Amino acid sequence: MILYAIIALAVFCTSTLSGIFGMAGGLILLAAMLAVLPVATAIAVQGAIQVVANGSRAWFSRDYIDCRILGFICMGLVAAAIALFILRYSPDLATVCIAVGLMPILVWIPRSWLALDASKPHHAFFCGLLGGGLNLAVGVSGPTVDVFFIRTQMDRRRVIATKAATQVISHAAKVLFYGGLATAMGSGDWLLVLVAAPFAVAGTNLGYHILQRMSDDGFRTWTRWVVTLIGLVFLVRGLSLVMGS
């Protein structure tokens, strides 16, 4: 019960973060899951919870979803899933932590170096291919997906809404990729998802209302710093695992 209470609190806080920034929460939630579950199961459980959190966020801001961009991103996600399935990919903890820890580097790359724009069809497809592939491979892809959105001319509401819809599909694909809920998760994991679900919705709702009070410039600045700090924690853990082994 203590573990469930801690996870519920973590889900509420991380969902609030995701409701504000469109990511970051998933990174912290994955860290919590990896601390108590095997890697593949942790990714599946985190994916199931994130489907609820992102689904509620997409619903709250459904009027701002750009379906054209979403369609191209989904095409890239399908291509990535097929490639990983053919390669019979299987994750390990050190690789996951290091990969997640390095992701925030992307949000600091100057626009002149890497002018990615999710509003362009071929960029949106590559966003789905790269971001969807990383989400399947290491459990999260927020900073990677964000680099395609943070440089667009879209306002923060369209960014959050479209990213939320993208993540719903991506996390659902992640759960299916690891064997589906029936095989990747036991009865205790099912109960964990059920307990966490209402806290995910409540946290997302709180984050959505905080987002409405932020400026677009403040949104972009805080997003970079938050994901960078979280990435550093993952990177340190991953490197310590490699050196320890």
pLDDT digits (tens, 9 = 90+) for 137-188: 888 776 778 778 877 778 878 888 898 899 899 988 888 887 554 455 555 6
Per-residue confidence band for 68, with pLDDT thresholds at 50, 70 and 90: very high
Q: Are 88 and 136 in contact (CB under 8 A)?
A: no
pLDDT above 70: percentage of residues in the chain? 91
Give the least confident one: 16-30, 67-81, 199-213: 16-30
Q: What are the structural domain ranges in the chain? A: 2-244
75-78: Cβ within 8 A, 24+ apart? 75/125, 75/128, 76/124, 76/125, 76/126, 76/127, 76/128, 76/129, 76/130, 76/131, 76/132, 77/128, 77/129, 77/131, 77/132, 77/133, 77/169, 77/170, 77/173, 78/128
Q: Does position 192 have pLDDT exceeding 50, yes or no? A: yes
* pLDDT confidence of residue 4: 80
- Please compute the mean of the pLDDT values over residues 201-222 and round it to a whole number: 80
* pLDDT confidence of residue 144: 79
* pLDDT confidence of residue 79: 95
This prediction's pTM: 0.73
Give the least confident one: 40-54, 168-182, 230-244: 168-182
* pLDDT confidence of residue 245: 61
* pLDDT confidence of residue 23: 62
Average pLDDT of the residues of the chain: 82
